[in-house]
Structure 1
Amino acid sequence: MRITSCAVLLAFGCVSTAAAAADAAVDFPSKPLRFIVPFTPGTGMDNIARLVGEKLFESWKQPVIVENKTGLAGHLGAEQVARAAPDGYTLVVTASNLVITSILYPSPTFNPMKDLTPVMIAARGTNSLAVNPGKGYRTMADLVAAAKANPGKINFASAGVGSPSHILLAEFEDATNTSFLHVPYKGTAPGVNDVIAGHVDAMFVATHTLRPFIESGQLRNLGVSSSERQRSAPGVPSFAELGITPGMPAWYGFLAPKGTPAAVIDKLNKEMTRILELPDVKSALEKTGLDVKPSSPQALQELMNMQLARFTDIIRKNNITAN
């Protein structure tokens, strides 16, 4: 009899918990939301956060506060969200480098892969291999041939040790059987500036970031690290066309603290998917070179798991450590 009573109480408790979670979703949101962007204003994540935030305010009548919290390649902002209440009111708007930092900055108190819950992929992006036009590399074949003839001597910039551009360089060296002299910078901007100035030869740069420098003739795009040509750079060959294995694609997405009710995650996902598919929002983001492709939470989790395995292998193989 006691067992039966316990079973009934346990079942009642489960039903009550599920009902409470459902009620939370019905009332959500009842106060302002916060989007933490762990990078500077003007980045892809920042643009997505502000566009989606404006539209959420229109539909839900609750303000969305966008905060830029930089540090440790996005790690600090993500950790702040992981420590927030798991109620759906605080989200991190970040990118695939979140997976890289989980490997490079192991912590007993924060693991992005375990302490955050995916909400969705908002958009995907690509990276391009940019060179200074004055260096004489007119095609990818020119650069690869020069690197093979001068192993370890051609300068290749990155946004820092362990940054996505550094990981892409390691992947590129493996795919082309080449060796470059890695020159890490503290961020993308100073690296790009030195490629333009001719102090370094090449750098992987987000395709949407690269566009104005290509149009002005300051840089040349030798190839897009993707399986097909990109709408934002239709005249540039993809790595696949060039016979080079593309690097892991970039994603931009939303994540919530672990333990956020599934019903709240679902409500956020559905409304933000609707917003991202609005013609004006989609057009605004695609003009910056992003490919708007909203996904389910499960799709983001699967992609992160796949990237974790691949990035771990690359980082260990190349002995990459955080600064």
Structure 2
Amino acid sequence: MFNFRNLACALAGAALLANAPAALAADYPSRPIRVIVPYAAGGSTDQLARVVAQPMSEALGQPVVIENRPGAGGTIGVDAVVRADPDGYTLLFGNTGPNAVVGLMRKVSYDPLTDLQPISTVANVPMILAVPAGSKAKTLQDFVAEAKSRGSAVNFGSVGVGSLSHLTGEYFNMLAGTSMTHIPYNGGAPMVTAFVTGELDAAFVTGLDGAAFVSSGKVRYLAVGTPEATAVLPGMPAIADSVPGFRSIAWFGVLGPKGMPQEVVDKLQRVVADAVARPETQRIFSERNVEAKSSTPQELTRIIEGEIEQWKPVVRDARIEM
């Protein structure tokens, strides 16, 4: 005989399971949230994460705790988030490197487009062409002319093989028709210090890395990697003015594991956007030559897709491996 009691229990159980994500979202968050930064404490990614963590904590009513998981170009931290429960209590403060380009240069344990849930960007950081203060190149046009005439005798530094500063230099070579030699360093500080000792002719840096050296008069900026002039660096010409089509901008943002309840994603997106829009956040970012900018999850997905498409031929043609 058909057991209507068992059927009723099964239907009730199914209803509870179906409503579980909604119930989770309604109570979210009920405990501290962990934000994994895939780099060491004190670096540029860590700095930006901590600026937005405080207003996020205030809005959510729970501590937002930064946890640094450095190593393997940021992929160790990303992998930890990919493997976490998709309940909104483990998030990633990601960026261009491990979330778009590292996987083009070596095998990684995750797919940046299918294993993570984008939530919102936090900032855009343009790459900047910098030269030593004593360089003969006073303008971007001067630099391009010198680089073409001297060929591989002109070098450029980066914060490491496969970094965005490395890829940007190779991208410049491709579009400008130059053949600068790449010299990798172990991080931003030793690279920028190399300017002072005369080891480098140029480098592509962020304002976060180079600000102290520029203010000290030891380094000069020539042009910025945004498609056109930007308020982040007032009066600075765009590299694209002399090298058509050039664009190099790092992004920073918040992501989570795939499978998070949509209500939680939506709530976090609103909270991140509000944190980014705060005047204090805008001020701090502006002082660091950073554009505070939020996005929708869909916009961040398109950004990552676009970066993979942009940097794939650069990695291939320059034969970059990590």
State TM-score, norm by structure 1: 0.91
Structure 1 window deviating more from structure 2 (8-17 vs 157-166): it is 8-17
Indicate how the Cα distance of structure 1 residues 18 and 242 shifts in structure 2: closer, same or farther if over 3 A, else same: farther
2:225 is matched with which residue?
225
How far did 1:15 drift?
Answer: 6.2
2:19 is matched with which residue?
19
1:86 is matched with which residue?
86
2:154 is matched with which residue?
154
Q: Secondary structure at the match of 1:314?
A: helix
1:173 is matched with which residue?
173
2:5 is matched with which residue?
none
How far did 1:223 drift?
Answer: 0.6
Alignment partners' CA distance in 1, 2:172 and 2:73: 21
Indicate how the Cα distance of structure 1 residues 66 and 171 shifts in structure 2: closer, same or farther if over 3 A, else same: same
Indicate how the Cα distance of structure 1 residues 321 and 20 shifts in structure 2: closer, same or farther if over 3 A, else same: same
2:106 matched to 1:105? yes
**1:263-282 alignment, distance < 5 Å:** 263-282=263-282
Kept in 2, the 8 Å contact 1:171–1:247? The answer is no
Q: Secondary structure at the match of 2:86?
A: coil
Counterpart amino acid of residue 296 in structure 2:
S
Structure 1 residues 292-314: Cα deviation after superposition (integer angstroms, max 9, x where no partner): 11100110011111111221121
How far did 1:16 drift?
Answer: 5.0
**1:1-323 alignment, distance < 5 Å:** 17-98=17-98, 99-107=100-108, 109-322=109-322
Alignment partners' CA distance in 1, 2:149 and 2:247: 23
Indicate how the Cα distance of structure 1 residues 187 and 17 shifts in structure 2: closer, same or farther if over 3 A, else same: same
How far did 1:284 drift?
Answer: 1.8
Kept in 2, the 8 Å contact 1:196–1:218? The answer is yes
Structure 1 window deviating more from structure 2 (238-247 vs 12-21): it is 12-21
Alignment partners' CA distance in 2, 1:45 and 1:266: 23
Q: Secondary structure at the match of 1:156?
A: strand
Counterpart amino acid of residue 69 in structure 1:
R
Which blocks of at least 5 consecutive residues in structure 1 are unaligned?
Answer: 3-7
Q: Secondary structure at the match of 2:241?
A: coil
Alignment partners' CA distance in 2, 1:152 and 1:13: 69
Alignment partners' CA distance in 2, 1:210 and 1:200: 14
Q: Secondary structure at the match of 2:311?
A: helix
Shift >6 Å, 4+ stretches = 8-15
How far did 1:229 drift?
Answer: 2.1
Q: Secondary structure at the match of 1:255?
A: strand
Kept in 1, the 8 Å contact 2:189–2:209? The answer is no
Alignment partners' CA distance in 2, 1:303 and 1:296: 11
State TM-score, norm by structure 2: 0.91
